[in-house]
């Protein structure tokens, strides 16, 4: 081969390498503000999820629109009946803050496509389409700012009612959709314009919480959601805003947190959480009863004890708990939910130190409970022990052991398996916490 040709091949290869490198370095690098927000998010450990929309008027959960063959124009009439006269942002935020939660995530637009703010992108919104005419997201955003609690927006990638949304595997029973009008780029622009409003007009937003990507997980040709550009838009508008996506798979580039639905990371009881655990801050979303959106027959609330142990167990795995409430159509938080909020708060007021700002403990979840760690302090959370002895398979050395509640010393002994705690009586209560000082 002639030297000139060899040289030009070498030059082409060098160019290709530099292009590949440039492409790589164009990848997502979280800003310092974003990294700080991730840290704070993980320290906060506890948030409250709110599923609220015109679906609440049907009181059948947020999937009602697609569960039956329902005409979209008939469904939309719920907007004209949506008058949540008991809605009071200050009361909501106070009750949520009382629980010890550090952030609120509310559905800005769920799969039914109804927008809960004064959007210019569609008249199908709370200000233009309901007699209530109030922008509840604005009221909530102002109140969160006033009471010092972060606000996150849930945003659905799905829209069961719009013609231009390219239909996936859900929403197919909805009547009145003209599938000839499917138009991804139009729908994508609509979403981005809505996200721009949410991130421009409502102050600092802690996170955008996407949902619905799984709608296209059975497509024969992989569906391109153009997430990278959408995530970049969010980070450009608010660098500290965390991007999370409830897609049930390993996080994509540009995501700042990893979400697990109805399961503590590493468990997969509900069948939606088989994905690997990443190094991003983790969040488990879970319901207080069964449904997300208000459902009349769903009054089977988890007990306060169960919820506290779930929160502690989530922290024991190094994850946050985003605990859901479905407010009623009249704007009230169901009283059982409010009772749970206050009861959890009472517990968090006393024991929050063993949850906020902790990392996963040294020992994976056991029959008897879990552990959390903060520096040299290891918190042993005992939910269920039938004995006066507990062997902890610890690798570190223990300097001191005492009850977290009243600092009473707890006897301990080094054994071949680790460290044995010896109690005078069988530990009882919702969470009997022993603090170990380790070295």
Q: 227 or 378, CB closer to ligand GLC? A: 227
Residues of this chain, 372-411, that bind ligand GLC according to CB under 6 A: none
Answer for the pair 127, 133: CB distance below 8 angstroms, yes or no: yes
CA distances 60 to 131, 140, 405, Å, are 22, 24, 42
Among the listed residues 108, 62, 91, the one whose alpha carbon sits nearest the alpha carbon of residue 331: 91
Q: 49 or 188, CB closer to ligand GLC? A: 49
The CB-of-351 to ligand GLC minimum distance in angstroms stands at: 27
Query: Is residue 58 a contact point for ligand GLC (CB under 6 A)?
Result: no
The CB-of-211 to ligand GLC minimum distance in angstroms stands at: 5
Burial category of 274 from C-beta neighbours within 10 Å (exposed 0-12, middle 13-18, buried 19 and up): exposed
Query: Is residue 211 a contact point for ligand GLC (CB under 6 A)?
Result: yes
Q: What is the DSSP letter of 179?
A: G
Q: 211 or 431, CB closer to ligand GLC? A: 211
Helix (H/G/I), strand (E/B), else coil: 437 = strand
Answer for the pair 251, 244: CB distance below 8 angstroms, yes or no: no
Residue with tokens 């991130």: 199
Query: Is residue 62 a contact point for ligand GLC (CB under 6 A)?
Result: yes
Compute the half-sphere exposure of residue 81: CA atoms within 13 Å on the CB side of its CA: 12
The CB-of-36 to ligand GLC minimum distance in angstroms stands at: 26
Number of residues that bind ligand GLC (CB under 6 A): 8
What whole-number distance in Å separates Cα of residue 313 and Cα of residue 42? 15
Question: Of 42, 54, 95, 285, which one interacts with ligand GLC (CB under 6 A)?
Answer: 285
Q: 63 or 231, CB closer to ligand GLC? A: 63
The CB-of-63 to ligand GLC minimum distance in angstroms stands at: 6
Answer for the pair 228, 254: CB distance below 8 angstroms, yes or no: yes
Answer for the pair 410, 423: CB distance below 8 angstroms, yes or no: yes
Q: 64 or 347, CB closer to ligand GLC? A: 64
CA distances 337 to 219, 225, 356, Å, are 39, 36, 22
Q: Any alpha helices (H) in 201-303, and if so which ranges?
A: 227-237
The CB-of-289 to ligand GLC minimum distance in angstroms stands at: 13
Question: Of 292, 347, 383, 412, which one interacts with ligand GLC (CB under 6 A)?
Answer: 292
Q: 171 or 334, CB closer to ligand GLC? A: 171
- Interface characters, 164-203, with ligand GLC (x: CB under 6 A): ----------------------------------------
Query: Is residue 246 a contact point for ligand GLC (CB under 6 A)?
Result: yes
Task: Please give the residue ranges that form the binding site for ligand GLC (CB under 6 A).
Answer: 51, 62-63, 211, 246, 261, 285, 292
């Amino acid at each position: 081969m002639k030297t000139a040709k060899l040289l030009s091949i070498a030059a082409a290869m060098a160019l290709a390498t530099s292009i590949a490198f440039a492409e790589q370095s164009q990848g997502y690098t979280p800003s310092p503000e974003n990294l700080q927000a991730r840290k704070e998010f993980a320290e906060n450990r506890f948030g409250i999820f709110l599923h609220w929309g015109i679906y609440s008027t049907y009181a059948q959960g947020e999937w009602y629109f697609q569960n039956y063959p329902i005409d979209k124009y008939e469904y939309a009439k719920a907007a004209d009946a949506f008058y949540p006269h008991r809605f009071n942002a200050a009361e909501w935020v106070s009750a949520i803050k009382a629980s010890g939660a550090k952030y609120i995530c509310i559905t800005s637009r769920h799969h039914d496509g109804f927008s809960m703010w004064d959007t210019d992108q569609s008249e199908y919104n709370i200000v233009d389409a309901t007699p209530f005419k109030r922008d509840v997201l604005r009221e909530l955003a102002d109140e969160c700012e006033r009471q010092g609690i972060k606000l996150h927006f849930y945003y659905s990638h799905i829209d069961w009612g719009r013609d231009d949304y390219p239909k996936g595997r859900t929403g197919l029973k909805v009547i009145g959709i003209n599938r000839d009008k499917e138009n991804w780029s139009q729908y994508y622009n609509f979403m981005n314009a809505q996200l721009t409003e949410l991130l421009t007009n409502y102050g600092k937003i802690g996170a955008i919480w996407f949902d619905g990507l799984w709608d296209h997980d059975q497509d024969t040709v992989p569906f391109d959601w153009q997430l990278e550009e959408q995530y970049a838009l969010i980070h450009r508008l608010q660098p500290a805003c965390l991007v999370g996506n409830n897609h049930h798979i390993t996080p994509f580039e540009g995501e700042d947190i990893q979400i697990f639905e109805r399961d503590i990371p590493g468990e997969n009881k509900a069948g939606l959480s088989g994905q690997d655990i990443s190094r991003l801050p983790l969040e488990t979303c879970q319901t207080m009863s069964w449904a997300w959106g208000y459902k009349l027959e769903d009054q089977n609330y988890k007990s306060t004890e169960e919820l506290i142990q779930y929160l502690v167990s989530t922290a024991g795995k190094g994850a946050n708990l985003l605990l859901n409430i479905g407010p009623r159509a009249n704007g009230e938080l169901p009283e059982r939910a409010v009772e749970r909020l206050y009861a959890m708060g009472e517990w968090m007021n006393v024991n929050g130190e063993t949850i906020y700002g902790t990392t996963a403990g040294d020992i994976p979840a056991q029959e008897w409970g879990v552990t959390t760690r903060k520096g040299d302090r290891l918190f042993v959370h005992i939910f269920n022990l039938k004995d006066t002895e507990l062997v902890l398979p610890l690798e570190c050395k223990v300097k001191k052991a005492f009850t977290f509640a009243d600092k009473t010393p707890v006897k301990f002994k080094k054994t071949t398996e680790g460290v044995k705690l010896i109690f005078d009586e069988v530990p009882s209560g919702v969470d009997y916490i022993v603090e170990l000082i380790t070295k």
